[in-house]
Structure 1
């Protein structure tokens, strides 16, 4: 399922793979930015920016050791990343998502620990637990969060056995209607407009799972499933109801032990999902971000065949082009997420210094400056 990380090897490459490996992608504009202070192994799963002088990144640290992993959070002050003190929180587990538009409108969610999922709010200095309907109930799980420019908050979660959206209108929280689809895991919630929300993940099907995308605009619309088996859609970007991009990975049927998946890049044209070439055959696509006009701009990726630098896809004149990150302190960087920096033409990405979550892997970020 989604979130499984690891170095994968021992693959026999066919002619298509050889052609992809022989190509020379561009290197363009990305630079490594130190994210010090985490305890190996550590990774940053999600990143969000309010502007050039404020950003947040969350994940986990202390992986692969005898002690349980701990939540990790960092904040950018315009010149450096610093680790946020989470010791006042009773919550020890990993943080799975973060979103924010200003210093007093930033939120994070985490994986369940002790039978409950935390919802955190940034108070300008650190993260504090926030109350919400269902907090502490054993069947309530929160998975992803988005915040609009109007400061309204949208959270994906489960309650009473159903996937739902938890919405905050600025004054109070409300659980919305159940998602009319069984067996779904949701990993992202994305805003297109203040009242149009997209979610994605995977859905149990035929002994495996298939990619899942749906829209909420007062009621649910579930898009047709993507063709394939053992798929996960990691992120979605909607330009319009008939112009939607989905990224993720697919493992298909069988294969040798340790086989990496194939990247998924699909486009919904209002009628069908169309497959688009990702530029390499083995690996995954983890996140997609738009530009200031809402057009698709960047995708973060992991190319199994060349792990010496981070991998991105850039959208230019209707075509996706492979772009490589910087050569630097990360020996084999793995990027989990990326986000646009409002007020600029720049982007952040976050992940870890190697593709395996074991020491000495550390938290890692890169920034794109046009």
Structure 2
């Protein structure tokens, strides 16, 4: 995914602190990495009726429904560890619980102390090493307090940790692999301590892997987020500017023509100097008949090869099926998933797509997970209809 070859940070240790160890906060780095420069390529939006994606639809899916639960909820926040273990959160809202995939079923772990209406994020380093970050206390507390519950293969060990950061909204707490995001700070578990590094922007999503992480900040209509995408280098988090010239389609009459936004869903490295970014480009318009304000969007796929951007745009609509994530397929291509269960595959320069199979109902995908050369998973749920609130957990696995 890089525009220049960099040496990634070494994998975090899988050791778990002993119950008597005092939480310690170390500095991984106190500076930001040098900005990525010399990027080229402009990506103007084509006409409203142009669909540059238009993949071939396969009649039969290469993915298999590996698990479909009966209880209410969904699967999300997936992590595949270096040893191939799959962890996820199952449930919804304050009832989310960490689970681990055994290869044929989900293993429930003993409950961890969570408090009332907790905000939960999951990270993991191995099949028997995982941690759950729970924000505790009043949102007005300063600094914010967090409880880190660590799974050692037998039981949870929980302790409060004062990370010294001011309270942030729940959407700005994220975890994946050995990394955790807290506002404008990223942290990595080293095996003995949490190590910190500053971020360019308040960020709310991690993509990639422990060894090759990417940080994503959502666009904020009230604030100008200058850095939406950063990658980790041995010198700190490096800002990766998005392509220049991302414009409204010709002839578009937007409510605020100067405020379109790009929401990044995922990043996938497909070569030493190549990475893809999947997302949605949106803006406001007046509905033609009633002149009501509506949000219009189109999907966009951005490719960067050795610093040069190129883009492919999807159709324009007011009920889009947005991309939610992307992962490399391990063979120079990538998979990208949409919310309503479509799995897109780029292989040998050709795009195809297929729908995630279900026993009955409509597939909903929240997350993709996998490792290069390893098993790939899609996680989410099955509903009775599009955007249905009644949903049950589901896991799909790509057939070898």
Q: TM-score, structure 2 length as denominator?
A: 0.67
CA distance in 1, matches of 2:209, 2:103: 25
The two structures, once aligned, show a CA RMSD in angstroms of 3.7
Alignment partner of 1:222 is 2:239: yes
CA distance in 2, matches of 1:36, 1:260: 34
- Cα distance change, pair 164–208 in 1 and its aligned pair in 2 (3 A): closer
Match of 1:190 among 190, 197, 208: 208
- Cα distance change, pair 113–15 in 1 and its aligned pair in 2 (3 A): farther
Match of 2:193 among 151, 172, 184: 172
Alignment partner of 1:267 is 2:303: yes
Give the unaligned 5+ runs of structure 2. 1-47, 140-144, 248-259, 288-292
Q: Does the Cα contact within 8 Å between 1:279 and 1:321 map onto a contact in 2?
A: no
CA distance in 1, matches of 2:226, 2:282: 10
What is the match of residue 274 of structure 2?
243
- Cα distance change, pair 109–311 in 1 and its aligned pair in 2 (3 A): farther
What is the match of residue 3 of structure 1?
none
What is the match of residue 345 of structure 2?
314
Give the unaligned 5+ runs of structure 1. 1-13, 64-68, 148-152
- Cα distance change, pair 326–154 in 1 and its aligned pair in 2 (3 A): same
Residue 244 of structure 1: how far off its partner (Å):
2.0
Residue 137 of structure 1: how far off its partner (Å):
6.0
What is the correspondence of 1:1-370 to structure 2 with a 5 Å cutoff?
24-36=57-69, 38=71, 40=72, 42-50=73-81, 54-61=85-92, 69-86=94-111, 88-90=113-115, 92-96=117-121, 98-109=122-133, 114-115=138-139, 116-125=145-154, 128-129=157-158, 132-134=161-163, 138-139=167-168, 143-147=173-177, 153-158=178-183, 163-176=184-197, 178-181=198-201, 184-191=202-209, 194=211, 197-204=213-220, 212-217=228-233, 218-226=235-243, 227=246, 229-239=260-270, 242-254=273-285, 256=287, 261-277=297-313, 282-292=320-330, 295-302=332-339, 307=340, 310-329=341-360, 331-340=361-370, 344=374, 346-354=375-383, 355-356=386-387, 358=389, 360-370=390-400
Q: Does the Cα contact within 8 Å between 1:249 and 1:262 map onto a contact in 2?
A: yes
CA distance in 2, matches of 1:240, 1:72: 35
1:250-308 deviations in whole A, cap 9, x for unaligned? Answer: 32232646757422321123434321256997321111112446x44311113xxxx5x
Secondary structure of the corresponding residue to residue 218 of structure 2: strand
CA distance in 2, matches of 1:277, 1:366: 27
- Cα distance change, pair 83–337 in 1 and its aligned pair in 2 (3 A): same
**Rg bigger for which structure?**
2
Q: Does the Cα contact within 8 Å between 1:56 and 1:75 map onto a contact in 2?
A: yes
More displaced stretch, 52-61 vs 280-289 = 52-61
Q: Does the Cα contact within 8 Å between 1:237 and 1:296 map onto a contact in 2?
A: no
- Cα distance change, pair 242–285 in 1 and its aligned pair in 2 (3 A): same
1:69-96 deviations in whole A, cap 9, x for unaligned? Answer: 4223322222212444436433643534
Residue 34 of structure 1: how far off its partner (Å):
2.8
Q: Does the Cα contact within 8 Å between 2:230 and 2:240 map onto a contact in 1?
A: yes
CA distance in 1, matches of 2:135, 2:262: 22
CA distance in 2, matches of 1:201, 1:58: 22
- Which has the bigger relative contact order, CA under 8 A and spacing at least 6? 2
CA distance in 1, matches of 2:264, 2:155: 31
Count of aligned pairs: 322
Residue 35 of structure 1: how far off its partner (Å):
4.2
Q: TM-score, structure 1 length as denominator?
A: 0.71
- Cα distance change, pair 209–341 in 1 and its aligned pair in 2 (3 A): closer
Q: Does the Cα contact within 8 Å between 1:210 and 1:230 map onto a contact in 2?
A: no
